[in-house]
Amino acid sequence: MPELPEVETVRRGLAPVMEGAVIAQADVNRPDLRWPFPENMSERLTGRRVLGLRRRSKYILVDLDSQESLLIHLGMSGRMLISGHTVGDFHHEHPAPAKHDHVVLHLDSGVRITFNDARRFGAMDLMQTDAQDDHWLIRDLGPEPLSNGFNDSYLVERLSNRNTPIKSALLDQRIVSGLGNIYVCEVLFRAGIHPKRKAGQIAAMRVAGLVPIIRAVLEEAIAAGGSSLKDYRQADGELGYFQHGFQVYDRESERCVNPGCTKHIARIVQSGRSSFFCPQCQR
């Protein structure tokens, strides 16, 4: 499932062509994805001007001049694809309609935004913009890891006395929003912390040190366009490249990248998810 860097990359790709444009026609080609679409979704989108695009955790929020916001969740295989626009000397022609094109937004500029989702684990919803924090998918989310609200004192307090493994704690969206399996594995490797260590037993100084590492990993991943594993693509159809810089994730049995380390990357399963780590460098 796309994590914060992938979703932010898609948002940045969509913003230049969507912001300020009017949705001339919204085609909703099925009644639901993971959950039912909101009532009269096509009518509520058609004719509306896009004021801006934001991201909250792993959700893209499209603010409309109707005082509503369209929430987009990419799910496992969802893609937001742009066609009918020109980048430099290259023009992206509209492709033929595809089987899994579930929602298509025709903009007044001639650009088309297509939400394609083969597995249908994605979602879309409409909500009042000023009531965003009450939406059931958003109301319990923790702070954004790149925001000022996510700092060392906050994380130390939230992890204090917690008996859960640090890997699980960092994946808890109520503690910090947007982190997923890939980037937590990479963060813990850089921090030298074993994924099974109990969060409440890690020294406060080491917990505080996770904050800049989390930010650095996410910022590097965003700069690389995210990580392309299986289905993920950027809004222009290009792959992300951060996977080429993985230090532990998906590198089971490969040599540790730390100088002087002779161990190989190991994998364990925690709560149904693979954790990759170096048994020598992470304690």
Question: Which residue numbers are catalytic?
Answer: 2-3, 58, 273
Which tokens go with 77? 């295989």
Instruction: Give the pairing type, strands 50-56 and 112-116.
Output: unpaired
